[in-house]
Structure 1
């Protein structure tokens, strides 16, 4: 195997291990030693690629950005057409914001709040992800943001599912989340239909 491919695979293992550690142990419980062990990579190799925890976590933020985008794009391809589409879009978003990838991202947001270096890496990526998810949601719902109130309705939708994802980090909230999303789908269908 060429050296370049071995390097790419090693980095991928380290980044995946970092995400797993963030989900299971949080930011404060994630260490470069633990990540190295989980990835099956020597400490020296890990230090060669990522000399500090922040270097590792910043790379993980970028990795998470790509993973989150790919997961959403794949899920969007599987959405049905017709009457239940709005509810399916909400379920897709709800699944995304309750996934381990979101939990890892949440750990980074909280840590970045008080760490300037981490914030400088996290903030621009999260802004980009936010714009991409917003644009995707507009497209999937067939919403026309040129009409008054529609942009705010889409943003409220994203704030809702993000908040439900946050609530899910403390306790399994699936049953309540389903009822809320059912009702919000009706609200969106009515508002967007009136809008068209």
Structure 2
């Protein structure tokens, strides 16, 4: 029941945004009584804070699953960058984005969101370094990895306003070529 409530919360965050997500709608979507929902999560913030933790876990699992399927060889950088781009343009990121925006003006929500996002950010950074075989002891490599993550987040944000898959793919293909050149130079 708890998992259904959390999944329903994430779905509604994507569909209706933070302000449109109500505990009543979550109960209805999850197929549980309002009393059962209140037993697990007495307030909307309790529900959303639990959903933040659930969402953070899902985002990490989703990335790890996709990373395990990546090819090796000359197309690896492109595949890593496209995987990150797809992840940050997907519904799980959209739900997280709703929480980030709401947390900007809600201190209790910020207190829950910020530490989880820092952990996920570090884990995503480390995973990206590993997947690209990058050596962060080389000057500029850490910044290239961070620029990559900032780029895919920004493109993910842009995708919330409309489908820009074709444009995003072109940008990410070019960035993959740029990274290959830059990281090869760093390895020398």
| Structure 2 length-normalised TM | 0.99
1:28 is paired with a residue whose SS is helix
Counterpart pick for 1:34 among 10, 25, 29: 25
SS of the residue corresponding to residue 170 of structure 1 reads coil
Runs of 4+ in 1 over 4 A off after TM superposition: none
1:77-128 C-alpha deviation (Å, 9 max, x unpaired): 0000000000000010011101100000000000000000000000000000
Of 124, 139, 142, the match for 1:148: 139
User: What are the residue-to-residue correspondences of 1:154-173 with 2, within 5 Å?
Assistant: 154-173=145-164
Q: Distance in 1 between matches of 2:119 and 2:164?
A: 28
Question: Which residue number in structure 2 is paired with residue 102 of structure 1?
Answer: 93
**Aligned-pair CA distance for 1:71:** 0.4
Structure-1 separation of matches of 2:96 and 2:90 = 10
- Tell me what 1:54 maps to: 45
Alignment of 1:1-196 (within 5 A): 10-196=1-187
| Ranges in structure 2 where 5+ consecutive residues have no aligned partner | none
Q: CA RMSD in A?
A: 0.4
**1:73 & 1:189 partners in 2: Cα distance?**
22
Looking at structure 2, the residues matched to 179 and 48 of structure 1 have their Cα atoms a distance apart, in angstroms, of 48
In the alignment, the residues of structure 2 paired with residue 68 and residue 179 of structure 1 have an alpha-carbon distance, to the nearest angstrom, of 24
Q: Distance in 1 between matches of 2:162 and 2:29?
A: 26
Mapped partners of 1:114, 1:34: distance in 2: 23
Give the TM-score of the pair, scaled to structure 1: 0.95
Q: Distance in 2 between matches of 1:194 and 1:147?
A: 10
Distance 2:78 2:164 in 1: 17
**How far is the alpha carbon of 1:167 from its aligned partner?**
0.2
Higher relative CO (Cα under 8 Å, sequence separation at least 6) belongs to 2
Unaligned runs of 5+ in 1: 1-9
Structure-1 separation of matches of 2:48 and 2:156: 22
> How many residues get paired?
187
